[in-house]
Amino acid sequence: MSVLEEKEDGHQLAADVEALYGLAVDLWGADHLVLKGAKLGIMDLINSSDLGERVLGLEKIVFQNPTLDKVPGHKEIPQALDKIKEEISSQMARRITEDQIERMINEKIADRQDEYIQDIKRQVLAEQGGVENAATQEKLNKLEKMEMVSLGRSAMEKLRPQKIEEVIGQAQGVKSLLAKIVSPFPQHVILYGPPGVGKTTTARLALARAKEMGTSVFGPEAPFIEVDGNTLRWDPRDITNPLIGSVHDPIYQGAKRDLADSGVPEPKLGLVSEANGGVLFIDEIGEMDDLLLNKLLKVLEDKRVFFESSYYDPEDPAVPAYIKQIFETGVPADFILIGATTRSPGEISPAIRSRCAEVFFSPLTPEDIKAILAASVEKLQVQCEPEVIDIIAQFTIEGRKANNLLADAYSRALLRQVGVTEGNLTITTADVQEAIQSSRLTPYVLPKNREGGKIGAIAGLGVAGFLGSLIEIEAVAFPVKQDVEGREAAKKSSAQGKIRFNETAGSMAKDSVFNASSVFRLITGEDLGKYDVHINVVGGGNIDGPSAGVAFTLAVYSAVTGKKIRQDVAVTGEISLQGDVKPVGGIPEKLYGAMQAGMKTVLIPKDNEKDVPADLQGIQVIPVETIWQAMEYAVYQE
């Protein structure tokens, strides 16, 4: 570049700097600019004859940064001026936008001045007169006094597990639920199990544990929203829906007055929105209305709740911004659903089951009940006689019910030992017996002698819901014709015997009896028609299924041959005409029932071997494939 060109370039840069100073004066005003310059201590830079120093002063004013101290060189000045131009243009555009908004506000005020004046008048009147009077103030004082009264925690709150490690008897269920909650990809879950085994408590504690783990998606403030499915009902008018949410239209009672007066519908958010980012726990989810359940499934898919109202007008300026956003984009409802039920899986909607992982909680064993009671005694800080825990364990299989009985006995001990200091109170067997008699309870499992053998008597296994039980089956057999020659005469007779069986047992059980009669002939080669056989299910009841087939066969075999059956063995399995033992359902529950009844050994079908719980203890489980194998373990072969 020549000297002349450099001179012309310098003149152009100086002109640009003067122009930018002029824009700054237009933007902030000359007085304001001088004040800013004095405050920043840059008046010497502004008035300098050096172009670089003037540019530095302009930078400090425009960017309001007094720490800038580098004087740009001749080659750096154009780049500095470009940045200054960009900042000045941005601020001028902001000023123009602010002026436009201010004009619009003034226009709105002019258009709706009368309405605003009326609002102000109403506000002034409310402030002068107020809504309070002597009667309302008295009720407020009464309410505040009520808030100051507290009876403390109930016994159940004190005895409830506070950590997930305190949940007893549900090691597999707890582990399975935690695995599904702490994962970076958590799953919706349905918890199955009998009442009082800790489903609700475990769900609450599982979320608390998930918050502590780095792999979890739940934040520290993740909510746990709990509701009972029995209380949730479908409202076909959609006026109220505490689960999903609803819209209070202006004409309906319950809409806010300020919204109703302007004809604006008011959305009411439901529990699914309150649970956003956390867990929605629905106890007894199997009791929910099908239509409401379908609404819930839609929310699970969308992870949002959408509202509709014929009164909503998106062009209405009276609609608040939050209501407009609710109607146009919906409300977030991203949560993990945990449902609990005492129903069997077959009674739950297939639609909800397909979206949820399933976790099964086991019935509590007597040992589990004793462990729960021992922990509760420690929390209550009391002493108890050794028999107290054993007695309570005989009368319930529910942890909650066991704690209720203990709390009742604790209260009776307090009443009996007035003035005893904490830690010295003793719960006696008499206290527990009084509590049991007061509740009209009977032993859940009557103690039975399971030693030795009996002819024609065998223990089968049944299941109802999540609980297994012992089915006592007995059989007797008599020759068709008894005379002085006794059994030999009966063998020569052509008369046919009869098989009698409980009428209430059901058609499938009768089919099992007929199968047993054929298998008896297969085993012995002898025709059962030579005997009158009576088979009885002690206590009656309907046997829904073929799983007592093996038990019937062994009972008939013992009754006819006179061989004794071991009384500490229980059996389950369907019998085929070829003598094969076929698989049946409910194996975990049946094993639990056998343990409750004091059985030492259970015979199950070989094909059900995979259904035996891995952590099963205290009972021997023997898989069998044929009736001959079952006879080896169940019948004394002397």
Q: How many Å from the N-terminal Cα to the C-terminal Cα in the chain?
A: 124
Contact yes or no for 120/340 (Cβ under 8 A):
no
Confidence of residue 260 (pLDDT cuts 50, 70, 90): low
Sketch out the chain's domains with CATH numbers.
3-100 (no CATH), 170-360 (3.40.50.300), 375-438 (no CATH), 453-634 (3.30.230.10)
Quote the DSSP letter at residue 285: G
- Give the 3-state secondary structure of residue 568: coil
The catalytic site residues sit at 547, 590
Closest of 608, 561, 562, 568 to residue 589, by C-alpha: 608
Task: Give the number of residues written for the chain.
Answer: 638
Q: How far apart are CA 87 and CA 333, in angstroms?
A: 43
- What's the whole-model pTM score? 0.67
- Can you tell me the mean pLDDT for 317-323? 84
Q: Which pLDDT score is estimated for 123?
A: 67
Q: Which pLDDT score is estimated for 334?
A: 94
| Full strand arrangement of the beta sheet holding 531-537 | 499-501, 531-537, 467-479, 457-464, 569-571, 601-605, 620-624
Confidence of residue 583 (pLDDT cuts 50, 70, 90): very high
Contact yes or no for 357/388 (Cβ under 8 A):
no
For every residue of 370-398, DSSP letters joined together read HHHHHHHHHHHT-EE-HHHHHHHHHH-S-
Contact yes or no for 55/72 (Cβ under 8 A):
yes
Degrees to nearest 5, angle at CA 91 with 90 and 94: 90
* Torsion angle, alpha carbons of 602, 603, 609, 613, to 10: -10
pLDDT at 225 over 50: yes
How confident is the prediction for the chain on average, in pLDDT? 82
| Tokens coding 259 | 């919204």
pLDDT in tens, 463-517: 876 778 888 889 999 888 654 444 554 455 445 778 888 766 666 777 788 888 8
pLDDT at 261 over 70: no
pLDDT at 419 over 70: no
Q: 145-149, 326-330, 338-342, 527-531: lowest mean pLDDT where?
A: 145-149
159-163, 188-192, 394-398, 502-506, range with greatest mean pLDDT: 188-192
